[in-house]
Amino acid sequence: MSVLERPSRERPRSPRRRRERAVKIVLAIVLLALAFLLGIAFARTLDERPEQGDTVTNVRTLSPLPQAPPTRTVTVTVTQP
């Protein structure tokens, strides 16, 4: 090394660090693939679920019960509001 060159602050990467980095990359790829496959499985499950049946509406008309005539009537007169 000459006097004009600056010493490098980076240490050469050790084989262990390279291996750890490779393991992290492979693990990330595997996790992404797993998430992708789970997404596909979930979408297929939603597509294959049974469809709901038609809506059935029942209409009934109720007739009123017969009523007896009133027994007495009352008339109310108001003189002041």
Mean pLDDT per segment of 10 residues, for the chain of length 81 residues?
Answer: 65 76 95 97 87 86 90 88 69
The reply to whether 81 falls in a domain is: no
Looking at residue 16, its pLDDT comes to: 79
Amino acid, res. 46: L
Give me the domain span that covers residue 35. 15-49
Looking at residue 15, its pLDDT comes to: 75
Looking at residue 73, its pLDDT comes to: 87
The reply to whether 43 falls in a domain is: yes
The reply to whether 68 falls in a domain is: no
DSSP secondary structure code for residue 54 in this structure: P
The reply to whether 44 falls in a domain is: yes
Looking at residue 12, its pLDDT comes to: 64
Number of H helices, E strands in the chain: 1, 0
Looking at residue 56, its pLDDT comes to: 87
Looking at residue 48, its pLDDT comes to: 84
- For the chain, the domain total comes to 1
The reply to whether 38 falls in a domain is: yes
**Distances 22 to 19, 28, 34, 48 between C-alpha atoms, Å:** 5, 10, 18, 39
The reply to whether 29 falls in a domain is: yes
